[in-house]
Amino acid sequence: MKAKVNFRTLMMTALVLALPVVVAAQGQPDKIKTLETGVNNAKTKVALNERKIAVADSLVTAGNQLLAESKAENKVIDADSKKLDKDYAAKQKPLLKMSTSKDKAEAIKAKADLKALDLQYKADQKAIEARVKDATKKQTTGTANIAKGKNAKGSAQDALKTSKEALKTAQGKYDAATAPAEDKSAKGKGKK
Pick the residue with more confidence: 29 or 64?
Answer: 64
Residues with Cβ within 8 Å of residue 101, at least 6 apart in sequence: 107, 110
Give yes or no for residue 122 having a pLDDT over 90.
yes
Read off φ and ψ for residue 30, nearest 5 degrees. Answer: -65, -45
- How far apart, in whole angstroms, are the C-alpha atoms of residue 191 and residue 189? 6
Is there a contact between 111 and 99 (Cβ–Cβ < 8 Å)?
yes
Domain boundaries, the chain: 2-169
Pick the residue with more confidence: 29 or 121?
Answer: 121
Q: What is the CATH number of domain 2-169?
A: 1.10.287
pLDDT single digits (tens) 35-66: 889 889 989 999 999 999 999 999 999 999 99
- How far apart, in whole angstroms, are the C-alpha atoms of residue 3 and residue 149? 81
Given this model, what pLDDT does residue 179 score?
Answer: 79
pLDDT single digits (tens) 147-190: 999 999 999 999 999 999 999 999 998 888 887 754 554 455 44
Given this model, what pLDDT does residue 10 score?
Answer: 59
16 burial class (0-12, 13-18, 19+ CB within 10 angstroms)? exposed
